Amino acid sequence: MQRQSNRALLLILVVIVIVAGVPRIRRFVLLHKSVPKPAAQRAADIIFFYSANCSKCKKVKPQITRLEMDRPDLKVLWIETTRPETKMLFESWQNRYEIPREHWGDVPALFVESTLKAYTGVPEIEKAVQKLIEERKKTQTEREGRKRSGQQSSLLLPALAPAQNGSGPPV
C-alpha cells in the first residue's frame, strides 16, 4: 500500500515538475533560437522562397543575386516552392517566424536568420536587401577609415595603454 502511495506521489511530483518547467523550456528554446550560430554551423543566413512562374519573384531575383555578390559573407539558400516537400518546408519556416495564416504561401518570401525577421512582397524584400547591402558597406567603410587613420583597436587594456604624461606605464 505504501509503495502505491509513493508511486502516486512520485507521479504527481513528476507532473508538477513538467508543468512548472514548460514555460522555462519554451523560454530557453526561444532564447536559443534567437542566438545566431557561428557561420560554419549555419546552413544559410538568408532563405529565399520563390516560385518559378511568379512574376513578383522574377522581379526580386536580381536583387537577391546582387545581395549574394555584394555580401559574400552571407549564405543565401534559394528554395523553389512548387514541389510538395518544399511546400512543407516553406510552411515550417512561416510557422517558425510566426507569419499570419492569411499570408501563408505568399511568395516571394525572405527569411533573415541573424535578425529572425521575415519579409514578403517585392517592396519589403527590396528594402531588406538594400539594408543588408548597406550594412556591409558601412562596416567596410569603418574598417578602411580605421586602417587609414592608424587607429588601434579599442580593446587595449588600460595597463597597456600609454601613460598620459608619456613617462611610462600608468600606475
Domains and CATH numbers, the chain: 44-141 (3.40.30.10)
Four-CA torsion 26, 31, 36, 41, nearest 10 degrees: -40
In degrees and rounded to multiples of 5, residue 170 shows phi and psi of: -65, 155
What is the model's pLDDT at position 108?
A: 94
Beta-ladder partners of 117? 112
Residue 84 confidence class, pLDDT cut points 50, 70, 90: confident
CA 32 to chain centre: 11
CA 151 to chain centre: 31
Confirm if 63 and 73 have CB atoms less than 8 A apart.
no
What is the model's pLDDT at position 138?
A: 73
Lowest mean pLDDT among 24-28, 87-91, 132-136, 137-141: 24-28
Query: Rounded to two decimals, what is the model's pTM?
Result: 0.58
